[in-house]
Structure 1
Amino acid sequence: MNRILKTTAIAAAVMSVAGVAQARDQIRIVGSSTVYPFASYVAEEFGATTDYPTPVIESTGSGGGLRLFCNGGGDDTPDITNASRRMKPSEFERCAENGVTDITEAFIGYDGIAFAQSNANEQMNVTREQIFLALAAQVPQNGELVDNPYTRWNEIDSSLPDREIAVYGPPTTSGTRDAFEELVMEAVSEDMEAYGGEGYTDIRADGAYIDAGENDNLIVQRLSENTDAFGIFGYSFLEENDDSLIGSSIDGVEPTPEAIGSGEYPVSRSLFFYLKNQHSDDVPSMYEYANMFMSEQMIGELGYLKGIGLIPAPEDLREEARNAVESQEQLELSDLQ
């Protein structure tokens, strides 16, 4: 081997060991199961209408995706991660510690968390407090906290049906789980004297709550098999399966696009994806994909993604979010606090 070839080989080996990203055409995406259907739609359109291959997308949950995204800047780490909640300050700090120091946040719209069952049943409308009492690991009784004794819904409130409490829901790595804990568990318990004004998010582990994994479609399938059970998942999955499922109103508000978009529905949340700008030179298709995702054709009031369950943000927020992506605006820790 001549000296030039030998030097080139050594340099390539050093770059590989150092984890420096290598140029490639195919985008690698991980993250939220809720955002997955929207990202998949854009990815298929991107593959069909550009010269680039269809991006590879893996549904890992929001927390799992951010963990992979923040592992470093090397070619073996994802370019983009989807999230059904905002990045946490602790995740941003972990990214920085691992050399992921240039991130752009893309806000795509809204989604609601549905509490749904098989439409073989009559609609069961609930309050957040009733859901909390069904699922909390410990609940107040006679002025003290005890292990949750409730096994049937009518034990919580006589107006509820005499049915076993069985709820299929997301795991701890899921952004849907994070949002559910914040918008239901914390919101209810902060107003309960027994918890001392602190938010309580511990979910019971005695079988009433069944961890159904990251695939929301599996929850839908299980609800058709166990018609006594409920499921917790993104509104888009309820809309896609309205021929077999029925959603509950929560605190008297039906899960509709209008109620979710206005914030009236009490369990609504924002959806995002995050771009690793350090990969943009080596993965040139990354921002073409991102700009397509942020286009009015996708996330607008008449966009394709609305047809599969995305709740569009108001026009001024869509424009602001689009500008942040187009300018590769760098996310700061202070933005998340």
Structure 2
Amino acid sequence: MNRILKSRAFKTTVIAATVMGVVGVAQARDQIRIVGSSTVYPFASYVTEEFGAVTSYPTPVIESTGSGGGIRLFCNGVGEGTPDISNASRRIKASEVERCEANGVTDVTEVKIGSDGIVLAQSSTNDELDLTLEQLFLAVAAKVPVDGELVDNPYTKWSDIDASLPDRNISIYGPPSTSGTRDAFEELVMEVVSEDMAAYGGEGYTEVRSDGAYIDAGENDNLIVQRLSEDTNAFGIFGYSFLVENPDTLIGTSIDGVAPDAEAISAGDYPVARSLFFYVKNQHAEEVPPLYEYVEMFVSETMIGDGGYLMDLGLIPLPEAEREVARQKVTERAVLQVADL
């Protein structure tokens, strides 16, 4: 009887040790997990493929969830089931850093990788168009001033806004509220314009119309590109890189007389430009050994420098001094603080 009990005890011990071993393997992994911005996605995808090709580690898993959705997943906690990196087409918010900290994500490095423009594009079968920021605002805002009063947006055609504009229905495929591109569009277009309009009382107005003129096209910007090929009267809002990748089928719209090109975005002349980032969960570095090898590859001159591979995909390089700052943050694993924002 004692031998039976001892045998059962031995088997139980072996099973427990095996379970613990499996858990340990699940926590320590060689495959990096990345979420976040659809705008940063093409750049990060290139780096992940290169990383998988030239190192002994598996190609990182990357998912396009939008900047807001990615940061939310990133800030859910530390450990198994949470991502190691979150890409973002806008800077993380103080409230998001506070949520990270509340969930135990207390060691995060912010890395700026370059600049990007937000473009309003259309099918290349159309004539080129030049809009003002105000005309673009009036096309997408839920409420607009008419005779000094704010009313539900009455404009159904571009020519309703200005007779010089095309006699085409206003139809704009754009990013959802979880997207960093949407956040940046609201800040760089809607807030800028509405703050100068008396009807809004000097405050920024960012509510997008929901009557069908603005169409939430989800987080996959490639789907917007496809829809513009089918719906040639429509426009799409997305990052400059998608315009670069589709030169035969799309044309960009000039804003305030400035065309969306790399030189204008880099010089700060194009009015709808923003910075691109990714955020690294340093607390995962020990359990995910390739994490910083990937990050170092991403911020190398080969990738984000002048003439780097990512320029061909539409990334606008940072000035050399800013690229050095990014690399220094990676080397030092600089911890982002709420006070930095």
Q: TM-score range by the shorter chain?
A: over 0.9
Can you list the C-alpha shifts for 1:251-286, whole angstroms capped at 9, x where unaligned?
111111011111111000000000000000000100
What does residue 42 of structure 1 align with? 47
Higher radius of gyration, 1 or 2? 2
1:302 to 2:307 alignment: yes
Q: Please report the TM-score for the alignment, with normalisation by the length of structure 2.
A: 0.94
Partner SS state of residue 232, structure 2: coil
Is the 8 Å Cα contact of residues 21 and 282 (structure 1) preserved in structure 2? no
What does residue 200 of structure 1 align with? 205
Matches within 5 A, 1:1-337: 1-2=9-10, 5=14, 8=17, 22-336=27-341
Q: Please report the TM-score for the alignment, with normalisation by the length of structure 1.
A: 0.95
Partner SS state of residue 205, structure 1: coil
Structure 2: state its 5+ residue gaps: 1-8
Can you list the C-alpha shifts for 1:166-220, whole angstroms capped at 9, x where unaligned?
0000000100000000000000000000000000000000000000000101000
Structure 1: state its 5+ residue gaps: none
Percent identity, aligned pairs only, is 69
- Deviation of the 1:142 alpha carbon: 1.1
Can you list the C-alpha shifts for 1:26-60, whole angstroms capped at 9, x where unaligned?
00000000000000000000000000000000000
What does residue 6 of structure 2 align with? none
- For 1:183 and 1:308, the matched residues in 2 are separated by 23
- Deviation of the 1:143 alpha carbon: 1.2
Superposed structure 1 runs of 4+ greater than 3 Å apart: 1-13
Is the 8 Å Cα contact of residues 21 and 73 (structure 1) preserved in structure 2? no
Partner SS state of residue 313, structure 1: coil
- For 2:40 and 2:212, the matched residues in 1 are separated by 28
- For 2:273 and 2:117, the matched residues in 1 are separated by 4
Structure 2 vs 1, CA of residues 203 and 295 (structure 1 numbering), >3 Å: closer, same or farther? same
- For 1:9 and 1:249, the matched residues in 2 are separated by 63
Structure 2 vs 1, CA of residues 104 and 61 (structure 1 numbering), >3 Å: closer, same or farther? same
Is the 8 Å Cα contact of residues 21 and 74 (structure 1) preserved in structure 2? no
- For 1:76 and 1:188, the matched residues in 2 are separated by 42
- Deviation of the 1:61 alpha carbon: 0.3
Task: Output the amino acid matched with 1:131.
Answer: L
Task: Output the amino acid matched with 2:60.
Answer: P
